[in-house]
């Protein structure tokens, strides 16, 4: 179950990473060494290069092999980057309150990455920009991951918060990823939902494509088919193609111009008739609407950009190695 939630594919119960698999997981606490099943699951994730981020003080209590030890920047400097037992890499956490001299120490520590979680009493935007300006001035190229904490129980609110606080920075090139941590007594979102929301944010910021990109017109009186239902059908048929952009346009008037950057276009031309585009060129004209989605799939195959949906492996209980 955990492997699927993290976006891993599985073969005979063993996980392996895919384009939409989480790169790392953050564990506030670690399962005790006596919990063999949990420790085995984490070991298998580490074996496929998934980072296991754990606070250093937790690793001091009960080491986790191959973990990434997370320390406050000041603590890491005081300990000269020394790792707790079991850890193989260091990550440092900063909050925007650090002095310029403290931030410069990141270059000496050479952590795997920096987690940036701006203090609540500071402006997230301004404090983050200050950090990135210092890193650039000091030629520090360590990856910076935005550590986003939330206690919201509303999915729309989560998306809005992430877009407002993190998306604006990522779109400007300030940061390399996002780590989402649910806080408070209630944690309403599944790991899978948080992962998919995070990847949607990265795709919207043009950082990492994990699914098909769709472009659609807003619909108007000229629209020649049910835009919402048709778009839903196209998404169902073609939504598993990372790196492919499909435009769905209701009419010929503005459609070709609005979809100029798409790989493939689905455009209404006459009632019940659809034209299909490859780039800016019409390649199939006057297709009956009833068969147009299937024709679009065939067109994607024709240009070598199709791949079949992967079948989810049925649950198999793997024998612990």
Q: Are strands 24-26 and 51-55 parallel, antiparallel or unpaired?
A: parallel
* pLDDT tens for the chain, residues 1 to 321: 899 999 999 988 899 998 999 999 999 999 999 999 999 999 999 999 999 999 999 999 999 999 999 999 999 999 999 999 999 999 999 999 999 999 999 999 999 999 999 999 999 999 999 999 999 999 999 999 999 999 999 999 999 999 999 999 999 999 999 999 999 877 789 999 999 999 999 999 989 989 999 998 888 888 889 899 999 999 999 999 998 999 999 988 877 788 888 999 999 989 999 999 999 899 999 999 999 999 999 999 999 999 998 754 444 433 333
Residue 43's SS3 state is helix
Q: Which letter, b or e, does each residue of 54-85 get, where b requires 16 or more Cβ atoms within 10 Å of its Cβ?
A: bbbebbeebbbebbbbbbebeebbeeebebbe
54 — phi, psi (to 5°)?
-140, 135
Burial label for 306, CB within 10 Å (0-12, 13-18, 19+), is middle
pTM of model > 0.75: yes
Residue 36 tokens, joined? 């063999």
Do 224 and 270 contact (CB within 8 A), yes or no?
yes
Burial label for 311, CB within 10 Å (0-12, 13-18, 19+), is exposed
- Write down the pLDDT at residue 313: 45
Do 27 and 46 contact (CB within 8 A), yes or no?
no
- Write down the pLDDT at residue 317: 39
Residue 299 tokens, joined? 């067109």
- Write down the pLDDT at residue 311: 57
């Amino acid at each position: 179950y955990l492997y699927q939630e993290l976006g891993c594919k599985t073969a005979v119960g063993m996980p392996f990473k895919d384009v939409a698999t989480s790169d790392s997981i953050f564990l506030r606490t670690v399962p005790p060494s006596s919990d063999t099943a949990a420790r085995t699951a984490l070991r298998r994730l580490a074996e496929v290069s998934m980072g296991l981020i754990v606070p250093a003080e937790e690793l001091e209590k009960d080491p986790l092999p191959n973990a990434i030890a997370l320390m406050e920047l000041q603590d890491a400097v005081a300990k000269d980057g020394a790792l707790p037992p079991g850890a193989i890499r260091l990550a440092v956490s900063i909050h925007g309150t650090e002095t310029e001299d403290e931030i410069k120490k990141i270059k000496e520590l050479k952590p795997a990455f920096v987690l940036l979680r701006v203090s609540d009493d500071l402006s997230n935007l301004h404090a983050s920009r200050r950090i990135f300006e210092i890193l650039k001035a000091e030629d520090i190229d360590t990856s910076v991951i935005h550590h986003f904490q939330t206690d919201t129980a509303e999915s729309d609110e989560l998306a809005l918060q992430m877009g407002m606080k993190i998306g604006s920075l990522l779109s400007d090139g300030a940061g390399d990823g996002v780590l989402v941590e649910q806080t408070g007594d209630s944690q309403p979102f599944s790991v899978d939902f948080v992962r998919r929301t995070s990847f949607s944010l990265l795709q919207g910021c043009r950082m990492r494509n994990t699914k098909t990109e769709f472009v659609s017109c807003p619909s108007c009186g000229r629209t020649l088919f049910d835009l919402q239902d048709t778009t839903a059908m196209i998404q169902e048929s073609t939504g598993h193609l990372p790196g492919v952009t499909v435009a769905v346009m209701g009419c010929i008037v503005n459609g070709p111009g609005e979809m100029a950057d798409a790989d493939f276009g689905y455009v209404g031309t006459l009632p019940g008739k659809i034209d299909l585009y490859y780039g800016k060129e019409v390649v199939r004209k006057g297709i009956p609407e009833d068969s147009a989605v299937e024709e679009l799939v065939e067109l994607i195959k024709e240009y070598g950009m199709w791949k079949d949906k992967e079948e989810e492996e049925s649950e198999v209980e793997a024998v612990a190695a």
